[in-house]
Structure formats: C-alpha cells, structure tokens
Structure 1
Amino acid sequence: MERTYTIHDLFAALRRRKVIALVVSVIVLATGAAIALLTPAEYTASSTVQIEPRRLPVDFFPAQGVAPFEDRMRTIKHGILARPVLEKVVKETDFFPDLRGDLDQAVEKLRRQVEVRLEGEVPGGPPALLFVVEVRGADPRKVKAAAELLPRFYEQMTREVLASQARALRETLDAQTTEMSKALADHERKILGFKLEHAAELPEMIDTNARAAARAQALVEMHLSAIADARRRRNTVLASIPEGPSAPGMSEAALDAAQRRVQAAEAAYGPQHPDVRRARRELDEAKGRRDEEVEGYRKGRVAEQLARLDEEVSEHQQALTGLQAELASYQKRVEAAPRWGQELAARSRDYEVLRAKYVSTVSRRADAAAAEQLLAADGQALFRVIEPALAPTRPSAPDRGRMLLLALLASVAAGLAAAGLAEWLDGSMRGPEDAAALGVPVLAAIPRIGPRSHAS
C-alpha cells in the first residue's frame, strides 16, 4: 500500500534534499534575475488625434459620409497600419537600424509595436471623435517621432486619395457633360426642324386650324349662295322681254298690228287681193324689223348682262375651288395632328430625360469641383492633434521588480519541486514504516547512531 506522508516527513525530506533544492533555486533565481536585468528597456509614446466633424459631400466620399462610426474607425486603424504609411515612418525615423536591408520585416515588426484605439468612448452614448496612436520601441526619440508621423502620413495619404477621387470624378463629369451637351444640342436641332416642318400640323395648332376651317367653310357657303343667286338672276335675264317704249317693243307692236291687218284683209277681200298681198309684205317687213330689234336688244343688253353674270359665277367658282382646297388642307392638318403630336411627344420625352440627366450631371460636377477646391483650400483639416507625442523619460516595460519577484517565486517553486522529485525517485528505506510498506514484519528497529547529518 502507499505510504501517507505527514508534515514531519515532508520537512524531513526537505532537510535531506536541501542541497538539491538550494542549487535548483539558485539556478532558477539567477536565470530570472538575468532575464529581468538584461531585457532591453521599451519606451512608449502616444498622440491623441481628433477627427474633424466636417464631412465632404456624401455622393463623392461615402466612406466619410454615411459609413457607421465603428466602420470609420476600423478604416482609420487599417489606414494608419497600412504598408505605405509604415514604410514612410520606418524610412523617416530609421526605426530599426539593424533591419535597414529588410524593409518587409521592419514594416511587420513596427506594425506589431503600434496600437490604434478609441479614446473617450462612453457605452450607450455618442461615438467619440478621438483616437490614440501608441508606439512602442527601444529609442524614446524614435517612438515619439513615429507617434507624430503616423497620423500625419495617414492624413497626407488620405488627402491625396480624396483629391485624386474628386479630380477623377470632376474630369469624368466634365467629359459626360460635354458629351451630353452635344447630344442635347442635336436633340434640340432635330426637334426644332421637326416643328418647323410640321408647324401647321402640331396639336397646339388644332384650335387655329379648326377656326380657319370654320372660316373657310363659311366662305364656301357664301360663294355657293352667290353662285346660286347669279344663276337665278341669269335665268331672270333670259326670261325678260323688251319694254314697250323701246325699239324692240315698238317693233313687236308693229308686228302685231301688221298681223291684224293681214287677217282683216284676208277676211274682207280674200287671199289673192292686192291689199292682202300688200299687208303680207308689210307683215314680213314688220317681222324682219322685229327680229333685228330683238337681236340687237339681246346683243346690246341681255348678252352683256349674261356675260357679267357668267363672269361673276366663274369668279365665285374659282374662289370656291381655292376655298375647298384650303378647307381640305385644314382638315388634313387637324387629322394629322395626333400622329405628329405623338411623334413630337416621343422626341420630347427622350429630350427631357437627357436634359434631366444633364442637369443632374452639371450639379454633381459643381459639387465635385467644390469638393476638390475644399480639399485644396482646407489644408491640414482632416485630423487635429489634441495631445502631441512626448519623448518618454522612463521606460514603460519591462517591470523589473515584478520580474524579480516572479523569478524568486519560481526559484522557490523549482527548489521544492526538485526536492520532491529527488525524494520520490530515491528507493531507500528509512524506518519501520518503509519496511511495513513492503509487507515484511519488522522484528526490531535500530535507533539512529551518530550525528543526524551523516544518517542515510
């Protein structure tokens, strides 16, 4: 069975193994003290920087306009620890003289020795606008310079990026504006040509064309009425007979008188009587005079009136023909208005879309130019150093007193462990208890003889 050790046994074992425990403790203590004393001192410098609350337009720099504050701070941290910034700091300060030929390793080593953290943030409250750049290193002057240069170089890089973005955006918008201006001018020229070509057939001319058509229709009706009146008067002229007092009327009366005389002579004397034949001759002469007078009357008066009436009818018919053509033209314009209106609306719709895009692009170009000018005029306005870095006078690490205390505790623990291990590995029997553990009965025990220090 296993033996149970008492406190007395433990102290007895420690006395037996005190040399081993002391040697191991001294070795561990010496090693810890050497490490604590020989570890090079490390200095820490930090600078507190405030982010300027003014932001550039959202459309151009969304990372500064609409990004959450946590993402923005994460962006700042990665930006400060970016390789171009660290390279410039390493070259500017000669931070690692022993790594001048290995820039990659120097950058990685410096990145491990730089910390960027928020400052003054309250849980549940508004986000802080401060961040701290802390640099650790062996040279106090270099860590101070690095803590100052890191935010400055990052600001320069950020301003260069923002300025290049604003310049590239402005140049792009300038090109787009010029192109859209030419397209707008071409659309305007086409729309103007279309309006000039179909000026009388556009929808806005429907009322004008309708009024003109109504006026032409009224004139047509007026000319038709005038033609009907002229034809009526012509028929009246054709049906008119010469007046009694006129020469044709008198010749007509003489003819009637001659006819009555012939009839009276025939009734009184018979057809062959000389008076009858004379009356017949007078009748023929009267008829000839009547025909001459009637013909002269017709040629002198009726024909002239008929010619004047026919000319009037012809004039009215010519005007009527022109008015009918004009009326047909107005009706054609009214009928064509919807089709040309639809085509003009399609052209105008494309023009308005392009014009709205042009106005928006011009506005964005003005904003881009303003952002570019703002970046050029603001100077160092992205960050503001609240607490500049100071050269540390005392090292921040290592804590030599703490290291020595830890070395002392470790030496004590190592000595006890070495003594316990040596005791556990020793198979000697030192009393009845050890023999009883082997299952052998003890007959007698010989007391200690001689000094305790020589006992085995």
Structure 2
Amino acid sequence: MKEQLDLLLQYLYGVWHRRRWIIITAWVICPLGWVAVTFMPNQYTSDARVYADTKTILQPLLRGIAIDNDPSQELRLMVKTLLSRKNLETIARYTDADVKTETQDEYEDLLENLKKKIKINSAGKENLFKISYSGGDPKYVKDVVQAALDVFVENAVGQKKDDTEQANEFIESQLADYEKRLIMAEANLAEFKRANAGYMPGSEGGYFNMAEALKRNLETTRLELKEARSRLASAREQLNREIVELRRQGKNNRTEYDDRIDILQARLDALLFRFTEKHPDVRETRRQIEELQVLKRDAIAVGGNVNNDSVVLQEMKLIVSEMENQVASLVVREEGLVSKIVFIEDKLSNLPAVEAELTHMMRNYDVTKSQYNLLLSRRESAMISQNIGASSDQISFRIVDPPLLPREPSGPMRPLFLTVVLILSLGAGIFLAFMVSQIWPVVISPMQLFKHTKVPVFGVVSATEISGLKQVKRKQLKRYAVLCGLLLVTFIGFMAINTSPSIHEMILEAKEAL
C-alpha cells in the first residue's frame, strides 16, 4: 500500500513539476473553444400541447351495434406514424420549406432534419401530448410545430374515413362474391333435390315410405289371395257336392227353394271362413236358410215341386267363375307389387351415396349462407360506424397550449459548453503534463534516486535563500497564478457575454456584419 501511495505521489509531483503545460494547453484550447461556443447560432424552440379525448358517450350506447374499435390504440398508432415520410412531406409543404430546396438531396436533408428535430412525447398525463421543434428561425420553428399539430389532428379524421371506406369496399366486394356463390349453391341444391326427389329425407314420396307401403299392400294382397283361394276351393267343393247330390237324388225332389238355399249355404261357408258364428251376417244368413227350409218343407208337404236344377247349377258356376277371376286378379296384383318392391330396393342401394352428396352440398350451402349473413350484418355495422364517424368523432382534440413565436433562444446551452471546454482543456493539459513527466521524469525522494541509480543515499540538502532557488520557485508560482487568474477572468467574461442576450446578440450581429 505504501509503495502504491509513493507511486501516486510521484505521478502527482511530476504533473505539478510540469504544470506549465497545463496552463499552456488551457490558453490554447479555451479561447478557441469559448469563441466557437459564443459564435454558435441561436436555437429557438416552440412547442404545443394537445389533449386527445377518446371517451365518448356513444361508445357504450352502440356497443354490439356498430363495429367496435379502440380509439386509444388508433391514437397510439397516430403518434408513432406522425413522423412518417408522407406526414413529413405534408409538414414541409405546409411551411413552404419544400419550395426553398433546389435539389433532391436538399429535399431529403430537409425531411431528415424534420424527422430528427420534431419531438412528440407524452406530457405526463394520459392522452396529453407535447409536440416541439428546435431551429434557428423563430417563425419557421413555430410554423413547423403548427403544421405538425395540424397533421396530427387531421390524421385522426382522415385515417378513420379511409379505414371506413376501405372496409366498406372490401365488405361490398366480398358480399357480391358470396351472393353469387349462394345463388349457385341454391340452384345446385334445388336441381339435386329435383333429380333425387324420392331420396330426400322427410319427403312424402320417399323410397323408404314407398317400400313400406308396397310391402304392406303385398301382405294384404297375399292375405286376400289366400282368402279368395279358400273361398274358391269351398265353392268348387260345394258345386261338386251339389252335382253329386243332384245325381243321387234326381231332379224330382227339388223345390223352388233349393237353389236359394244352396246359394245362401255357399255364402254361409264363405262367411264362416272369415267370421265366427256370432257375426251378424252369419246369424242373418242362417236365419234366412232356416226360413227357406221351413218354406221348402211346407212346399213338399202340399206336394209342390219345381224343376230349377239348371238355374242353380248355372248360378253356382257363375259364382265359381267370379271367384276364379278374383283369384287371378289378386295373383296379378301380387306379381306387380313384388316387381315394384324389387325396383324400390334397387333404388335404396343408391340412397347412402345420395345422402352423402346431399350432406356435402348442405354443408357448403350452410357455410356460404352463414358467411353471407355475417357479411350482411357487418355491412350494416360498417354503415352505422360510418354514420357515427360523419356525425361525431371518436377522438376529439383540445389544444391545451398552442405554438407560440419564441422570443428568446432556448439554446445552445452556452454556459454549460463553456464549462465543458474549460474542463476538457484542463484535462488535456494534465494529461500532457503527465506524459512529459513520464518522458523526462523528476526525482522527488531519496528512495526514488536509489532505485534509479542503485547508489546509496546518505543525506538530503535542502534549498536555502542564499542559493536563490526559492525565489525562482516563488516567481514561477506567481506567474502561474496570474495566468490561471487571467484564464478564470476570461472564462467569467465569456460566461457573462453568453448569459446576457443583448450583449450576445450584438456580438452575433457584428459577426454577421463582418
């Protein structure tokens, strides 16, 4: 630690011993720097504060009716895009700065200068913004801030109008496209249903219903055919018995009631095949047969008989013929129903494919229709939003502080720059003195002398008045103090000039006159 402290003292003494380089460097750098700072052109700053109100009473009232948008997000986007090239060109046009440029490079430099120096920042509160600009011409500075403020406010209305128009154009084009697709889908669906009417779910003439109805009719027809064949067999048997009975008994024992009894008996046999004894028709037929038999007995008792054998047989044969025709008709009906059922079942094999195609077409139709209805509702919402934008602004601006013509320069910060020049010159001088002390080192202690010469040091001789060394050192110190004082006075003078606007303005005017 002691060695490090000794080394530090050695460096400090070397710098102090070469201190004339510090004052020389300061006197060379400071006047030049201070003059340059003094002659720096004045900078003027103008600013404006604007408040953007994004809360309107229409927002909660129209929620869900008009298109929901976030005015705060739009406002943040406008702040970020204020310094876009389009807006910068508009600002340059508003201030007539573009007409002063002669070449494209000058125009690009103008836009770059506006982009660098126009500042828009939050003023501390929500949606309160500060727009500022600095330059050498007070009027131009104010005009730039006013132009930037106008562009910022106009962008809110223009951007919303452009967005609304673009949204309406896009929705209208999509709506026309989906309308064509919907009409085509409806036409294709109608044609498909017409071509496959029997396959449609829920249709009255569907193949499923037709097949079920044909099967029921076939079952009924087969039952009727079975009944008709049974009646036919019974009638034929009755006819054969009657023929045998006539042949056995002969024709002399028949009366006029026998034929009617035979007919009723055949009817009774047919009724008993279908109904029970308690059926009214069965009872009525038996009653008629019994009455005829009573009449027959009475006729036989009085000795009356009528030869009607040919009429009875003919009637019974007629009945058998009718029953045969009925059986033949039922057979034809059965065959027709069977062929129809085969045809329907063949059609039913194609039903899954038809239903799959119908499902696909209905799905596409439903999607197209839902999108079309959604676009219709969106168009209505867009029209309401457009009407809202035409009647009221979702973002309203209030100019809190308008831009003013600056009366006093806002920069540059000459006192600070003067101080910086002084500090930098002193730092440069100290660095130069240190380097010189390292190139031509000075011995300040016996230990340092011993290290350099390797010769033992037995004593130290101090400077005396008689030698004159102290007088020389005092004179050097006085000259150094005077030079430092003059430097300080010069610094104070430049500081006074640069802090007095009137004096500084006179100096700048004199410079321009020269």
Whether the 8 Å CA contact 2:25–2:425 is kept in 1: the answer is: no
Distance across 1 between alignment mates of 2:123 and 2:333:
92
Distance across 2 between alignment mates of 1:47 and 1:396:
23
Whether the 8 Å CA contact 1:46–1:132 is kept in 2: the answer is: yes
Distance across 1 between alignment mates of 2:98 and 2:111:
9
Is the aligned partner of 1:447 residue 2:468?
yes
Q: Name the count of aligned residue pairs.
A: 390
Is the aligned partner of 1:350 residue 2:360?
yes
Gaps of 5+ in 1: 122-127, 248-295
Is the aligned partner of 1:25 residue 2:30?
yes
Shift of 1:417: 4.1
Matches within 5 A, 1:103-252: 103-117=107-121, 130=127, 132=129, 134-138=131-135, 139-153=141-155, 155-195=157-197, 200-205=205-210, 207-241=212-246, 242-245=250-253
Is the aligned partner of 1:394 residue 2:406?
yes
Shift of 1:155: 4.4
Matches within 5 A, 1:22-421: 22=27, 24-35=29-40, 38-51=41-54, 54=59, 75-95=77-97, 98-99=100-101, 101-102=103-104, 103-117=107-121, 130=127, 132=129, 134-138=131-135, 139-153=141-155, 155-195=157-197, 200-205=205-210, 207-241=212-246, 242-245=250-253, 300-301=310-311, 304-305=314-315, 307-328=317-338, 331-332=341-342, 335=345, 338-339=348-349, 341-377=351-387, 378-379=389-390, 381-387=393-399, 390-394=402-406, 398-400=410-412, 402-411=413-422, 413-414=424-425, 417-418=428-429, 421=432
Distance across 2 between alignment mates of 1:325 and 1:396:
117
Whether the 8 Å CA contact 2:45–2:134 is kept in 1: the answer is: yes
Shift of 1:174: 2.0
SS at match of 1:353: helix
Whether the 8 Å CA contact 1:140–1:392 is kept in 2: the answer is: yes
Alignment CA distance shift 1:366-1:107 (3 Å) = farther
Deviations 1:300-350 (Å, cap 9, x if unpaired)? 436623641343133212321343135425644774575354344224312
Alignment CA distance shift 1:410-1:57 (3 Å) = same
> What amino acid is the match of 1:45?
A
Distance across 1 between alignment mates of 2:31 and 2:165:
65
Whether the 8 Å CA contact 1:42–1:397 is kept in 2: the answer is: yes
Alignment CA distance shift 1:237-1:6 (3 Å) = closer
> What amino acid is the match of 1:40?
Q
Alignment CA distance shift 1:239-1:444 (3 Å) = closer
Deviations 1:231-278 (Å, cap 9, x if unpaired)? 22332343242432579xxxxxxxxxxxxxxxxxxxxxxxxxxxxxxx
Question: Which 4+ runs in 1 deviate beyond 6 A?
Answer: 5-9, 55-58, 431-445, 453-456
Alignment CA distance shift 1:86-1:208 (3 Å) = farther
Distance across 2 between alignment mates of 1:244 and 1:9:
179
Whether the 8 Å CA contact 1:89–1:150 is kept in 2: the answer is: no
Distance across 1 between alignment mates of 2:345 and 2:23:
125
Distance across 1 between alignment mates of 2:169 and 2:366:
24
Deviates more, 1:38-47 or 1:172-181: 38-47
Alignment CA distance shift 1:89-1:235 (3 Å) = farther
Distance across 2 between alignment mates of 1:131 and 1:235:
121
SS at match of 2:196: helix
Shift of 1:93: 3.4
Alignment CA distance shift 1:88-1:221 (3 Å) = farther
Alignment CA distance shift 1:406-1:87 (3 Å) = closer
Whether the 8 Å CA contact 1:159–1:375 is kept in 2: the answer is: no
Q: Provide the alpha-carbon RMSD of the alignment.
A: 4.9
Distance across 2 between alignment mates of 1:57 and 1:178:
31
Whether the 8 Å CA contact 2:131–2:149 is kept in 1: the answer is: yes
Distance across 2 between alignment mates of 1:234 and 1:394:
138
Deviates more, 1:173-182 or 1:385-394: 385-394
Whether the 8 Å CA contact 1:177–1:362 is kept in 2: the answer is: yes
> In percent, how many aligned pairs have the same letter?
11
Shift of 1:360: 1.2
> What amino acid is the match of 1:175?
D
Shift of 1:404: 1.6
Alignment CA distance shift 1:216-1:452 (3 Å) = same
Whether the 8 Å CA contact 1:237–1:302 is kept in 2: the answer is: no
Deviations 1:68-119 (Å, cap 9, x if unpaired)? x88x776444443333333333323335554475354444433333445557
Distance across 2 between alignment mates of 1:111 and 1:413:
32
> What amino acid is the match of 1:356?
D
Alignment CA distance shift 1:308-1:99 (3 Å) = same
> What amino acid is the match of 1:84?
K
Shift of 1:168: 1.6
